Structure 1
Amino acid sequence: MINLILKDVLIQKKIILLYIATIIIYLLAGVPSLIFLGFLYSVIFILNAFAYDEKDNANILLNSLPYTRKEIVSSKYIGSLIFTTIFVFMIYVGDFLINGKGDLFIWKEMLLIIGLVMVAISFIFPISYKFKMQYLLIALGVLFGIYMLAINLLVPINDILRELARKFLTLQEMQMYFVASITVIILYVGSWLLSIYIYKRRAF
């Protein structure tokens, strides 16, 4: 399975430097939210790797290799956690070195980024396995359009999201973090099992 995870890195090796370069530029510019930056780059990297599997019937090739469909799906979920962790550490180490922040690792923020990515992937992957990636991109485009319309005309969604993030980061009760973590893990595992079920029933 490790080879399937490495594959997702190798197919993007030409643009990994672009990821790193743009992260450095954002950090030099003093991007206000490392949480948003970590979430955005993690999801983009994961979805881009997923999209490559749909190009030129790559799934047919994958299923001809000595891997079960369960292993193929599992590599995506495990890889998503690994890639997100790498991006989070990269961003916070870069911010510490470039901007000289007092705390090298802010565990609450890092936990929030990983949790948000897990929630996003929990919804995105089953949809992507059920339908083609192009339909997901169309749906995301529509949702983004609705989001932009909402923040400009209806409600201050950005302010609400920032306030929710602030409340999460200022929580002192460890029980709340435990409950939130267990909820996200259950959602992620449930999505994982659902994706395996969907992918096993697909015909290539």
Structure 2
Amino acid sequence: MFNLIFKDILIQKKVFLIYIASIMIYLLIDVSPIPIVVVCSLSFINMALSYDEKDNANILLNSLPYTRKEIVSSRYIGVLIFTSLFIMLTYGGSFLLNGKETPFSWKAILFIMGLVMVAISFMLPVFYKFKRQYLVFAAGALFGIYLATIKFLVPNLNETLRELTRKFLALQETQMYLVAILTIAILYIGSWLLSIRIYERKAF
């Protein structure tokens, strides 16, 4: 199964230079590490999904000695591995640029992992049920709604989101974090099982 995860890294090994350069640029202009890691992680997964749709890749995958359950599971496990990798890259990049440790608290790491896991929980079942183009349409629609909200409803939405993030990271209630972790874990596992069921029923 881990060969399937490693496949995504090999396919995008040249693109990794772009990810690293993007991380450095964002750090230089003092962007928060949280959106950097989230955007890079989701971009990496989106690129991996696009390769899965090319040249009948799914037919090739299903001809290999892997079950469909293993193919889907490798994607969900890979998300956690790739996100952790981008966290380390961002942390290391900040250390090189600033000469000091990035304030990457365990709360920030949990927040990043939670955001990515929630996004993936909705993305992958849609991808396995339909096609990647539906993800593109959905992302475009959400971005349009986001811009319309800033323009007409909540002009200071970006600052509000930043303030909510700061408040979340400043919370000291451990019980609340446990509830959030459990909720996201249930959502992620539920999405995982749903994707397996969808993929096992697909004909290639």
Shared fold per TM-score greater than 0.5: yes
Where do 5+ consecutive residues of structure 1 fail to align?
A: none
Q: Distance in 2 between matches of 1:101 and 1:153?
A: 41
Q: RMSD in angstroms over aligned alpha carbons?
A: 1.3
Q: Distance in 2 between matches of 1:26 and 1:164?
A: 21
Alpha-carbon distance change, 20 to 110 in structure 1, aligned in 2, over 3 angstroms: same
CA shift for structure 1 position 104: 5.4
- TM-score, scaled relative to structure 1: 0.95
Please tell me whether the aligned partners of residues 41 and 87 of structure 1 are also in contact (alpha carbons under 8 angstroms): yes
Counterpart residue type for residue 202 of structure 2: R
- After superposition, residues 151-166 of structure 1 pair within 5 angstroms as 151-155=150-154, 156-166=156-166
Alpha-carbon distance change, 102 to 18 in structure 1, aligned in 2, over 3 angstroms: closer
Q: Does residue 179 of structure 1 match 2:179?
A: yes
Give the aligned partner of residue 188 of structure 2: 188
Q: Distance in 2 between matches of 1:116 and 1:3?
A: 26
Give the aligned partner of residue 8 of structure 1: 8
Q: Distance in 2 between matches of 1:102 and 1:135?
A: 40
Cα displacement string for residues 150-175 of structure 1 (whole angstroms, at most 9, x for unaligned residues)? 11221133233222212210110111
- TM-score, scaled relative to structure 2: 0.95
Please tell me whether the aligned partners of residues 28 and 99 of structure 1 are also in contact (alpha carbons under 8 angstroms): no
CA shift for structure 1 position 101: 4.3
Counterpart residue type for residue 175 of structure 1: Q
Q: Distance in 2 between matches of 1:61 and 1:172?
A: 49
Give the aligned partner of residue 20 of structure 1: 20
Give the aligned partner of residue 200 of structure 1: 200
Cα displacement string for residues 48-81 of structure 1 (whole angstroms, at most 9, x for unaligned residues)? 1111101111001101111000000000000000
Q: Distance in 2 between matches of 1:28 and 1:160?
A: 24
Give the aligned partner of residue 63 of structure 1: 62
> Which stretch of structure 1 is more off in the superposition, 18-27 or 94-103?
94-103
Give the aligned partner of residue 78 of structure 1: 77
Give the aligned partner of residue 110 of structure 2: 111
Q: Does residue 43 of structure 1 match 2:62?
A: no
- Percent identity (aligned): 65
Q: Distance in 2 between matches of 1:116 and 1:136?
A: 17
CA shift for structure 1 position 22: 1.5
SS of equivalent residue, structure 2 residue 171? coil
Q: Distance in 2 between matches of 1:163 and 1:23?
A: 23
Q: Distance in 2 between matches of 1:93 and 1:109?
A: 16
Q: Distance in 2 between matches of 1:177 and 1:93?
A: 26
Counterpart residue type for residue 38 of structure 1: V
Cα displacement string for residues 182-202 of structure 1 (whole angstroms, at most 9, x for unaligned residues)? 111111000000000000011
